[in-house]
Every structure is written in structure tokens, then in C-alpha cells.
Amino acid sequence: MDKKLEDTMMGSENSAGKYSPVVFSDEFPATSFGSYPGVFDMPCDDHKAAASCSSNSFDLLGSGIDFYNPLSSLFDLVSTTAPLLSSPASTVPESSEVVNAPPTPNSSSVSSYSNDAAAIEEVDKSNTEKPSSSNVLKPKKKNQKKQREPRFAFMTKSDIDHLDDGYRWRKYGQKAVKNSPYPRSYYRCTTVGCGVKKRVERLSNDQSTVVTTYEGQHTHQSPIIPRGSIRVLPESNLDVTSTTGLLFQPNTPQSFMYSPPPPFLTINSLSTNPRPPSSFPPPPPPPPPPPPSSQAFMLRDHGLLQDLVPLQMRKEPKDEQNG
DNA sequence: CGGGTTTGACCAGCGC
DNA sequence: GCGCTGGTCAAACCCG
């Protein structure tokens, strides 16, 4: 376990906050949090997402990521980190090319790809390369297993299991989790055509901590319109429309930022956290690489993140600080 | 009655 | 090959 990661993830004393998100990405076995809150025992060794757990990722986390959540005060935010981006494609070297990510050691494949298409494409390749002899079986699960969407998870101190993130979810399953007295719930976005899923579970040894894992990317806008007006960021900061919500700047691979998604939007302050304006239409063609920027908060395709995290959450604080 | 939840069963992947 | 586990399905059930 990389100490830097520990510091990044846990160093902020989760015990201090009610809602202290610890963000990471890709699926992770809940059992891997056994040592929480002392140590984040990320299963980097053998986990399929090992690539994302590489030291490079940690470098990323510690490379000046200055995520600032305007809600931090509301939720007593004490710990935020960039996600350990990963994906099924993260283990595929080409993935970095797919997303225009410089194959620099420091950038690594942390942001393995910028869109689901790339991920699926990679997955497709693997499927083609490894034709299952049992592909005659029920197709319903055959492909699902492979075509995994990018995942993002975060931990939240909350009594509520299913935190309202503005989307409508339908619970489609619940499973007992090994080494955990708390079951894991499976939710699926109820919007037609939107295959976003999320899993919710509690840490085995910290029932106050909810681990939510999002998988996929919403293809629609949140059905819940936040109260208050939607503020649009200065274009000088981010061209929201051109990226269709993707805080994606190929030129700033190490500029990662991740903010705690949904829970923070609803628990206390939808009114203060409008959703990202018109950021949902699927992002077909990759936007032209914006000019190099020193902006601290850039984000590759984070799947739901781009949908869930209001841009202002990343920008406003900076602006406020500046002003 | 429609939509969401519960829950047992089924299936695939993986480790031994 | 077998058992374990995670993920999903779908029928039954619940609720507004």
C-alpha cells in the first residue's frame, strides 16, 4: 500500500466529518476496506484494476490536486481525493492512446480512457481475442461482465444508504457481502436507455460509512431539477458545452480532480449546488483539445462524475479564493 | 394500477 | 472439477 495514497485518502481524519468522502474509482471489493479507517487497503496486487492502483496513480493523487469542494463546509468535508481512475481498459496499454493520454509515467493510465466507447472498444477487443466457448449461453450476462463501464466509488459518512443524487434509481438486487454484516444493494437508473448502475454498501467495520460505486454514464439529465438557478461557469474556465460535461483536457493529464458526487448534492444543499448545465447529451466526437491550461481541476471521462459533479463545485471555490 | 422493493434462484468468473 | 462469491434476473410483494 502506498503511503501517499493512505495519506491522501485517509489523512484527513475521516473521523472529523460527517460526510467525508473518500473517493476512488473502479470497483473495489468492499472487503478491501477492512482496515478502514486506518489504512485503505486497496487490492492493488491482484485486482483487475491493479493498473489504476499503480504508484503512478498515487503520484497523481499527490501531484497538487487541490480539489476544493464548496460544500466541504456544509458537510464538514475533510477528505477528498482524486479518483484512482481505472477501467477494464486501464490494463490495456493502448488505452492511453485511445484517450489521448500521454504515455508519461506520471500520467499513466490513470485516466485510461475518456469515454465509454473507448472502454467498450477495448473490452470488445478482449472479447474477440478470447472467444468464450460458452458464448452460446445466455447472452444477458456474458457481455455484461466484460463490457464494464468505468466505475467511480466514494465513501460517505451517512446514515442513509441510498443517498439521493438527483437521479431515479430502481433497486434490482441485494446481496450479502462476504466479511460484512451489511448487504450490498444494486441500483439501476430507471431512465430508459440509461444503463447506469450503482452499488451501495457499508463498510463492514464502520457502519456509518457508505460506499457508493457508480458504473456507467448517464445519457440524460437528472430528472430532478435542483432548486435555484443554474449558474454557468465562465467560458474562460471550462467550455462546458463543448465537452458535454466531460471535464476532459488531454493536455492536462495529471490535473485530476474528483469530487464527491451525489450525496452532497442532496443531503443539504441542492439549492446551492445546481447541476452542471446542459452537460448531458452524449459526447460523441472528442472535443478539440483545449489550449493548455493551468487549471487545477480537469477531469477525464469519469463516467457519472461529469454528470454528478457540478462544475461550479470545482471552479467556484477557486474563484472565490481569487476574489 | 403502475412503479419500486424484496428475495430466492440462477449464472459467470475465479481460486483452489 | 468444485465451491465460493459477485452480479443479475424475475416473480412476488408492497405502496401510493
| Per-residue pLDDT tens digits for A70-88 | 232 223 322 333 333 333 3
The answer to whether residue A49 sits within a structural domain is: no
The answer to whether residue A169 sits within a structural domain is: yes
Instruction: Tell me, letter by letter, the H, E, C secondary structure of chain A.
Output: CCHHHHHHHHCCCHHHCCCCCEEEECCCCHHHHCCCCCCCCCCCCCCCCHHHHCHHHHHHHHCCCCCCCCCCCCCCCCCCCCCCCCCHHHHCCCHHHHCCCCCCCCCCCCCCCCCHHHHHHHHHHHHHHCCCCCCCCCHHHHHHHHCCCCEEEEEEECCCCCCCCCCCEEEEEEEECCCCCCEEEEEEECCCCCCCEEEEEEECCEEEEEEEEEECCCCCCCCCCCCCCCCCCCCCCCCHHHHCCCCCCCCCCCCCCCCCCCHHHHCCCCCCCCCCCCCCCCCCCCCCCCCCCCCCCCCCCCCHHHHHCCHHHHHHHHHHHHC
Q: How far is the CA of A198 from the C1' of C10 (A)?
A: 19
Is residue A4 within 8 Å of residue A61, measured between CB atoms?
yes
CATH for A187: 2.20.25.80
**pLDDT of A256:** 33
Q: Look at residue A189 and tell me whether its pLDDT is greater than 80.
A: yes
Can you read off the three cell numbers belonging to residue A138?
445466455
Q: How far is the CA of A281 from the C1' of B4 (A)?
A: 27
Work out the average pLDDT over A86-115.
33
Q: How far is the CA of A172 from the C1' of C10 (A)?
A: 10
**pLDDT of A149:** 63
Can you read off the three cell numbers belonging to residue A116?
465509454
Instruction: Find and give the residue nearest to B3, measured CA to C1'.
Output: A170
Which residues on adjacent β-strands are paired with residue A225? none
**pLDDT of A307:** 47
Q: How far is the CA of A196 from the C1' of B11 (A)?
A: 21
A208-221 tens-digit pLDDT: 888 888 887 777 77
Peptide bond into A37 cis (omega under 30): yes
Residues whose CB is below 7 A of strand B? A 46, 48, 132, 134, 137-138, 141-142, 145-146, 162, 168-175, 185, 187, 190
Can you read off the three cell numbers belonging to residue A143?
457481455
The answer to whether residue A203 sits within a structural domain is: yes
User: Degrees (nearest 5) of the Cα angle A296, A298, A302?
Assistant: 145
Q: Look at residue A176 and tell me whether its pLDDT is greater than 50.
A: yes
The answer to whether residue A171 sits within a structural domain is: yes
The answer to whether residue A175 sits within a structural domain is: yes
Q: Which nucleotide is nearest to A142 (CA to C1')?
A: B12
Reported as a pLDDT band with limits 50, 70 and 90, residue A7 is: very low
Q: Distance of CA A126 to CAs A110, A118, A119, A151, Å?
A: 20, 12, 11, 19
Portion of chain A with pLDDT greater than 70, in percent: 21
User: How far apart, in whole angstroms, are the C-alpha atoms of residue A20 and residue A171?
Assistant: 25
Q: Within window 182-221 on A, which residues have Cβ closer than 7 Å to strand C? A: 184, 186, 188, 197, 199
Its sign, for the CA torsion A10, A14, A17, A19, is positive
Q: Look at residue A294 and tell me whether its pLDDT is greater than 50.
A: no
Q: Look at residue A181 and tell me whether its pLDDT is greater than 70.
A: yes
Strand B, nucleotides covered by protein (CB < 7 Å): 3-9, 11-15
**pLDDT of A180:** 81
Q: How far is the CA of A138 from the C1' of B13 (A)?
A: 15
Average pLDDT value over all residues in chain A = 46
User: Degrees (nearest 5) of the Cα angle A248, A108, A150?
Assistant: 55
Which residues on adjacent β-strands are paired with residue A185? A174, A200
Instruction: Find and give the residue nearest to C10, measured CA to C1'.
Output: A172
**Residue A273 CB-density burial (10 A; 0-12 exposed, 13-18 middle, 19+ buried):** buried
- Quote the number of domains for chain A: 1
Helix axes A139-146 and A116-129, enclosed angle (nearest 10): 110
Is residue A309 within 8 Å of residue A226, measured between CB atoms?
no
Q: Which nucleotide is nearest to A30 (CA to C1')?
A: C6
Strand C, nucleotides covered by protein (CB < 7 Å): 4-10
Work out the average pLDDT over A136-163.
57
**pLDDT of A292:** 39
Residue A169 sits in which domain range?
155-215
A18-48 tens-digit pLDDT: 444 455 544 443 333 333 332 333 333 333 3
Q: How far is the CA of A149 from the C1' of C7 (A)?
A: 14
Q: What pTM did the predictor assign?
A: 0.48
CB atoms within 10 A of CB A193: 7
Q: How far is the CA of A177 from the C1' of C14 (A)?
A: 25
